[in-house]
Structure 1
Amino acid sequence: MAEPLKYLSAYAPALQDQVQQMLAKNTLADFLRTKYPDCHSFTRDHELRDYVLSLKSRYMKKSSPLSKIVYDNKIHVINNALGLHTYISRVQGGKLKSKNEIRISSVFKKAPEAFLNMIVVHELAHLKEKAHNKAFYQLCQHMLSDYHQLELDMRLYLTELEINGEIY
């Protein structure tokens, strides 16, 4: 019996069967490389910060500022976290101050830019919508029209990465 596809568990059984067949034939990596031939070049934290801030200024100028944007080795995609948006409140001099942070799993240092873009859009959407509700996904689609397709493809990427290792 085939192993369950944890990154694709919410998708239709027919799609999961297709992916299982691609894995059995060892064609999933080729499919992904054909669709996404290159990795992005934003591998350092300051490059990631510039990338995130450019998207933020394009789509969410009036949202809260971000105090920290980094790649994080401690984020494990196994726990269904690709990135984290944290809202930290601290008392400072008798005032309550809050800071927004975005942390992206280090797994995405060597991934297609489209996947990094999808994750950044997802985390930026949390600045306005904390829950994964209809308004949240509408905001994601506003910033990235093919958001849902990219999320599926990124889940295929994670599946291939976990089962067979590096793709690029």
Structure 2
Amino acid sequence: MINLKPTNLELFLPSGKKIKYLLKRRNRRTIGLKVDHDGLVIHAPILIPRSRIEELIAPKLDWIQEKLSLQLNKKKKINWKTGELIHILGNKVILSLKASKTNSVLQDKDILHVDTNRVNDQIHSAKLVSKWLKEKALKDFVRRVEVFSVKLNVHPSNVYLSNAKSRWGSCNSKKEIRLNWRLIQAPPHIINYVICHELAHLKEMNHSNRFWEEVEKVLPEYRSSEKELKTLSSDLYLIG
């Protein structure tokens, strides 16, 4: 007998992880999905078996996990105070704020020293660190673009930073490469993937098989980097 009351259930993923969801049965013909601050809610027809519901939503698992991650990070925030952790090139770095007459940011191994004339102003500290990260990102990205341009035999005209809300990189007909500065938080292999992706577009302005062949020439494991970036993306947007 099918339970018509809203039911808390668990969806088992191929990776072994579980997603909790609330199943609500209604007098309807289709399955509806909603992800909000309470988690995943599935609206389903009254008579459809649970096994069939989970079979039908399987193609949406990536979307569901991405939306759940975004909801989780809406509850997260960085406290711009001494002891807080951020990431630079995939490594954990500890913030160390100190009151000063001047403003400066300096990294010493796993410590990021932030001297600020407004030590209790978290917005000010966030802006200082973001500005420093952008400067570091541009230097790092330009160097990587130079290396991979040689490997792909392409000639980009310039490299710029991007502040896009949903794209990690882009290129245009002027051969300009734009890279989201927040990528400086990610491990190097993920930055390399985004850069190679955009440089490959200088040969193939599409996502055809030939395009992916160009990427694979220099990054044989690009698929795992692409998947990892999707998982990390919401965390990278906690800054800025």
Q: Distance in 1 between matches of 2:168 and 2:68?
A: 26
Amino acid at match of 2:152: M
Q: Which has the larger radius of gyration?
A: 2
The residue number in structure 2 matching 1:137 is: 212
Question: What does the per-residue CA deviation read over 1:62-109, in whole Å, with 9 as the maximum and x for residues that have no partner?
Answer: x3x222112223x222xxx21111122xxxxxxxxxxx1111012212
RMSD: 3.4
1:82 aligns with 2:168: yes
- Counterpart of 1:38, as a letter, is N
Shift of residue 159, structure 1, vs aligned partner = 3.2
Greater helix fraction, Structure 1 or Structure 2: 1
Q: Which has the higher contact order (CA 8 A, sep 6+)?
A: 1
Length, aligned pairs only: 131
Map 1:122-161 → 2, pairs under 5 A: 122-161=197-236
1:67 equivalenced with 2:160 (yes/no): no
TM-score with structure 2 setting the length: 0.45
- Mapped partners of 1:18, 1:137: distance in 2: 25
Q: 1:72 to 1:13 in 2, by over 3 A?
A: closer
* Offset at residue 20 of structure 1 (A): 7.3
Alpha carbons of 1:19 and 1:48: their partners in 2 closer, same or farther (altered >3 Å)? Answer: closer
Structure 2 counterpart of 1:76, one-letter code: K
In structure 2, distance between residues paired with 1:152 and 1:104 = 18
- 1:33-52 residue pairs with structure 2 within 5 A? 37-38=90-91, 43-52=136-145
- Where 1:52 maps in the other structure, the secondary structure is helix
Pair 1:2-2:35 in alignment = yes
Q: Is the 8 A contact 2:35 2:68 kept in 1?
A: no
What TM-score do you get using the length of structure 1 for normalisation? 0.62
Q: Which runs of 5+ in 2 are unaligned?
A: 1-33, 41-57, 74-88, 93-132
User: Are residue 103 (structure 1) and residue 103 (structure 2) matched?
Assistant: no
Match of 2:192 in 1: 117
Counterpart CA distance in 1 for 2:182 and 2:152 is 26
